[in-house]
Amino acid sequence: MAWFIVISAAALAVLSAWLFASARRSLAGLQESIRDSWPAVQAACARRQELIERIVALCRKPLAEFPHLLDRAMRTGAAVSEAAESANVLSLAAADQAHRAAVDELLARAALHPQLAGSAAFKALRERVATLDARIDAERERYNGAVGVFNLRRNAMPFRLAAFGIRRGDFL
């Protein structure tokens, strides 16, 4: 009877170690998917910032009487770039919201200017901004999906036991 208890205890220990290792590997894989999705968010933000710089350059003369709009679009874009490069998720969300508002205001004002309103190049740039905003939204959804799965799994048993020392992911 004693040998049965010893064998059962050893089997339970092996099974527990295997479950712990499997849970830890699964969490590591989910963390990797979060890390893999972040560069796409960064790249989309960088492409949008390059486009906004072109739009600001195009609008500089026609909107010379509104330098605060041009400066705000550039300043908020720089904040988005900085937050994306530093992987500061919470700062990126706030900076992106402010940047979109600044760009929307700039584009609305530019659309009222006759020289810009009739320009095919300006219209193409506006469409490209909308496309890049949609791309950023899609990449954010991919990132948030990976974070959501990670956080859900991290809080479930047996992953909760294996998650000691692994911090929760932040949503964007």
pLDDT tens profile 84-142: 988 888 899 999 999 999 999 999 999 998 888 888 888 998 999 999 999 999 998 99
User: In 3-state terms, what secondary structure has residue 76?
Assistant: helix
pLDDT tens for 135-170 read: 999 998 999 888 888 887 777 776 666 666 566 666
Provide the 8-state DSSP code for 130: H
Q: What is the pLDDT of residue 90?
A: 85
What CA–CA distance (Å, rounded) separates 58 from 53?
A: 9
Residue 77: is its pLDDT beyond 80?
Answer: yes
pTM beyond 0.85: no
| Cα separation values, 63 from 78, 79, 112, 130, 158, Å | 20, 23, 10, 21, 60
Domains and their CATH numbers in the chain: 33-162 (1.20.1440)
Q: Are 48 and 136 in contact (CB under 8 A)?
A: yes
Which pLDDT belongs to residue 78?
A: 94
What is the spatial distance between Cα 103 and Cα 33, in angstroms, rounded to a whole number? 31
| Rounded CA separation 151/79 (Å) | 27
pLDDT score recorded for residue 25: 75
Name the least confident of 17-26, 43-52, 78-87: 17-26
State the average pLDDT over residues 37-65. 92
Q: What pLDDT is attached to residue 74?
A: 95
Cis peptide before 62 (omega within 30 of 0): no
Residues 72, 95 contacting (CB under 8 angstroms) = no
Return the pLDDT at 164: 61
